[in-house]
């Protein structure tokens, strides 16, 4: 079981990096956000300095790449469904869940690379974060990414159509993004949005990320976010593995 | 026996706004495939060929029926069955971004082979793919992709290989080349179960075959047996009054069949029957616009069993 999961993870990683230009583009996006968006937030943050703005925006941008980077990874499964390679793996003696788990694990590895790059850039720009907080941020990001990747694979195997999949993702992405306070904290939002925001799981991840970057290790948002995303990640991963059963008995 | 299947059935239910629809894709199929033979499943599109292969390869569970594959029970030991077979789907399963070598090595690793690198190199060599082994899959031609697909399915030297419509979309040269390679498989002791809707393919390649239509086996045997059953030769005539001509020629033929303005007369020995037939038509004053004498083909078998030609059956679905 583990051997096959490792095998598929390695295979997927090799596939991702066979043309390193695409993962590089993926990694650059959050960096560009930091460089170009954080300065815009300066006037909105209480301290009014770039560091304050970055402290608010860096955790948000990390959660953003965790969710939106992984949400698109299911597209790969659709093309493999179409070219028959998924079917081929389903007939092989491979442990079935490994076929999906390998992709999810690949997404995690890519995420960690992206996160480290973002952190390096943020630190160069003046953000400071403690070692414990750093590890917790990375773990939270991994759990968030796991949830999104599982969701994406499951959705891909259910929708099985690139067009339908991109429409579905677009429908959900904008409200989830805005209601999480990714760009502008929910504290500035009207009451009805403040009321709705806690329904959005990503809101909790962003709040917890901000607490960690602010060094408030005792903040309640941190255990809430971890519990929520570990449960959600387990659920979506199980769903994605079960969806595979639908294409192959 | 490599495959023994009895009474395989599969019904699909599709739900849409118009309500639920059920399609009986396979309605009780029996198959016996011996070790080391090329066994064909011939039928028009939509006859249930792919569903049958997908059931036998553990991809979908049959609603009813049992099967033993390479000594393992299909339903009770699917994992053991998967270890024994190679499966090449109609789509092929060649990935675009990775190289044939990487894909073949991955398959070898999944089968826990001792030396995946060597196994991949060997099978690449065997299918003349060494030259393009390290190019991305998307740069390969249709014929090359087919060969890669089969190489992936064969890297672990399975005793049984499933080929679903292996030559669909290939040009005649690539097709003949692939036929030779499939024959070589038999020589090396691999059993092959292939599905096809090409008559000539079934005829040229298969040791034995079943003809299936609407999810049921309508005929089974060697290509020779099946054709002899219909008769040796078929004389195709275009005449003014096909029905009356059929009545006239009945005493000379094993069977006559009218298909719009075409009359087919099945005889044992066409060369010798022809003069007598022509004389009989002339005596009755029946005008003849064309005549052709052919050896009977599997299409004549299909026609005899189902009342349709394979071409018509394919066009209707």
pLDDT band at A249 (very low <50, low <70, confident <90, very high): low
Question: Which residues in chain B land under pLDDT 70?
Answer: 231, 314-317
ipTM: 0.86
CA–CA separation, A121 vs A24, rounded Å?
Answer: 15
Tell me the average pLDDT across A185-209: 89
Q: Element (H or E) spanning A236, and its range?
A: helix A221-247
- Taken in order of first residue, the domains within chain B and their CATH numbers are 3-222 (3.40.50.300), 232-295 (3.30.70.980)
pLDDT higher than 90, residue A140: yes
The 8-class DSSP code of residue B102 comes to H
Q: Locate the chain B residue with the closest alpha carbon to A77.
A: B95
pLDDT higher than 90, residue A136: yes
3-state helix, strand, coil in chain A (%, to 5): 85, 0, 15
CA–CA separation, B219 vs B217, rounded Å?
Answer: 6
Retrieve residue B278's tokens. Answer: 């022509």
**Number of Cβ within a 10 Å radius of residue B75:** 14
Model confidence over A55-83: pLDDT tens digits? Answer: 888 898 888 888 888 888 889 899 898 89
Model confidence over A7-49: pLDDT tens digits? Answer: 999 999 988 887 777 777 777 877 888 888 878 877 777 777 7
Its sign, for the CA torsion B214, B218, B220, B223, is negative
Residue entry with tokens 């159509």: A161
CB of A50 closer than 8 Å to CB of A208: no
Q: In what order do the strands lie in the sheet with B85-88?
A: B85-88, B160-164, B191-196, B38-42, B208-213, B216-221
CB of A74 closer than 8 Å to CB of A106: no
Contacts of B36 (CB under 8 A, 6+ apart): B186, B189, B190, B191
Residue A25 φ then ψ, to 5°: -60, -45
CB of B159 closer than 8 Å to CB of B2: yes
CA–CA separation, B100 vs A212, rounded Å?
Answer: 46
The 8-class DSSP code of residue B232 comes to S
Q: Which of A93, A96, A97, A244 would best serve as a mutation to test chain B binding (most B beta carbons within 10 A)?
A: A93
Helices (H), A72-130: 74-83, 85-91, 96-124
CA–CA separation, A109 vs A240, rounded Å?
Answer: 19
Give chain A's contact residues with B (Cβ, < 8 Å): 4, 7, 11, 14-15, 18-19, 79-80, 82-94, 248-249
| The model's pTM | 0.85
B92 touches chain A (CB under 8 A): yes
pLDDT value at position B37? 94
Retrieve residue B276's tokens. Answer: 């007598």
Alpha-carbon B106 to chain mean position: 29
To the nearest whole angstrom, how far is the Cα of B104 from the nearest Cα of chain A? Answer: 12
Task: Say if the Cβ atoms of B93 and A84 lie within 8 Å.
Answer: yes
Q: Which of A16, A73, A80, A85 would best serve as a mutation to test chain B binding (most B beta carbons within 10 A)?
A: A85
Residue B151 φ then ψ, to 5°: -60, -40
Contacts of A140 (CB under 8 A, 6+ apart): A63, A205, A208, A209, A212, A222, A225, A226, A229
pLDDT value at position B314? 64
Of A184, A37, A208, the residue nearest A125 (C-alpha): A37
| B70 to B41, B61, B155, B169: CA distances (angstroms) | 18, 18, 18, 31
Residue B21 φ then ψ, to 5°: -125, 135
3-state DSSP assignment of residue B284: coil
User: How many pairs of residues across A and B have Cβ atoms under 8 Å apart?
Assistant: 74
Of B164, B201, B109, B280, the residue nearest A10 (C-alpha): B109
Summary count for chain A: helices (H), strands (E): 12, 0
Task: Say if the Cβ atoms of A7 and B106 lie within 8 Å.
Answer: yes
Model confidence over A217-242: pLDDT tens digits? Answer: 999 999 999 999 999 999 999 999 88
For residue B95, which residues of chain A lie inside 8 Å, CB to CB? Answer: 15, 80, 83, 85
């Amino acid at each position: 079981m583990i051997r096959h999961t490792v095998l598929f993870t390695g295979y997927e990683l090799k596939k991702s990096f066979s043309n390193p230009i695409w993962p590089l583009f993926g990694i650059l996006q959050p960096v560009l956000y930091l460089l170009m968006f954080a300065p815009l937030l300066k006037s909105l943050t209480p301290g009014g300095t770039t560091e304050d703005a970055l402290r608010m925006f860096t955790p948000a941008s990390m959660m953003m790449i965790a969710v939106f980077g992984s949400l698109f990874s299911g597209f790969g499964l659709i093309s493999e469904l179409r070219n028959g390679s998924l079917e081929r793996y389903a007939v092989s003696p491979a442990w079935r869940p490994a076929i999906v788990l390998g992709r999810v694990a690949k997404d995690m590895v890519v995420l960690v690379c992206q996160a480290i790059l973002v952190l390096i850039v943020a630190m160069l720009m003046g953000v400071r974060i403690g070692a414990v907080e750093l590890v917790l941020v990375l773990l939270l990001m991994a759990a968030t990414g796991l949830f999104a990747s599982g969701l994406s694979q499951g959705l891909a195997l259910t929708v099985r159509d690139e067009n339908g999949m991109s429409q579905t993702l677009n429908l959900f992405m904008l409200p989830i993004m805005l209601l999480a306070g990714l760009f502008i904290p929910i504290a500035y939002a009207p009451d009805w949005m403040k009321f709705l925001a806690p329904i959005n799981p990503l809101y909790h991840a962003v709040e917890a990320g901000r607490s960690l970057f602010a060094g408030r290790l005792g903040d309640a948002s941190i255990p809430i976010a971890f519990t929520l995303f570990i449960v959600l990640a387990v659920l979506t991963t199980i769903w994605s593995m079960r969806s595979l059963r639908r294409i192959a008995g | 026996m490599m495959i023994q299947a009895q009474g395989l059935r599969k019904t699909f239910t599709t739900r849409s706004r118009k309500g639920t629809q059920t399609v009986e894709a396979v309605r009780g199929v029996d198959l016996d495939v011996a070790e080391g033979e090329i066994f064909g499943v011939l039928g028009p599109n939509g006859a249930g060929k792919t569903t049958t292969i997908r059931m036998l390869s553990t991809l979908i569970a049959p609603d009813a029926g049992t099967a033993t594959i390479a000594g393992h029970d299909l339903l009770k030991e699917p994992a053991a069955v998967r270890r024994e077979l190679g499966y090449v789907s109609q789509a092929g399963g060649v990935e675009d971004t990775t190289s044939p070598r990487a894909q073949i090595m991955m398959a070898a690793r999944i089968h826990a082979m001792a030396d995946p690198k060597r196994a991949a190199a060997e099978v690449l060599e065997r299918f003349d793919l060494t030259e393009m082994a390290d190019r991305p899959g998307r740069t390969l031609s249709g014929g090359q992709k087919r060969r890669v697909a089969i190489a992936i399915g064969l890297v672990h030297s399975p005793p049984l290989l499933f080929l679903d419509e292996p030559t669909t979309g290939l040009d005649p040269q690539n097709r003949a080349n692939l036929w030779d390679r499939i024959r070589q498989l038999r020589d090396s002791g691999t059993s092959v179960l292939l599905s096809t809707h090409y008559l000539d393919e079934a005829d040229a390649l298969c040791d034995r075959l079943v003809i299936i239509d609407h999810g049921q086996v309508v005929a089974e045997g060697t290509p020779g047996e099946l054709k002899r059953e219909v008769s040796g030769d078929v004389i195709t005539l275009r005449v003014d009054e096909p029905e009356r001509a059929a009545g006239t020629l009945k005493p000379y033929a094993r069977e006559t069949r009218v298909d719009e303005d075409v009359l087919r007369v099945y005889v044992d020995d066409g060369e010798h029957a022809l003069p007598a037939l022509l004389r009989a038509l002339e005596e009755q004053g029946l005008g003849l616009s064309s005549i052709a004498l052919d050896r009977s083909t599997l299409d004549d078998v299909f026609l005899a069993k189902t009342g349709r030609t394979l071409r018509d059956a394919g066009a209707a679905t």
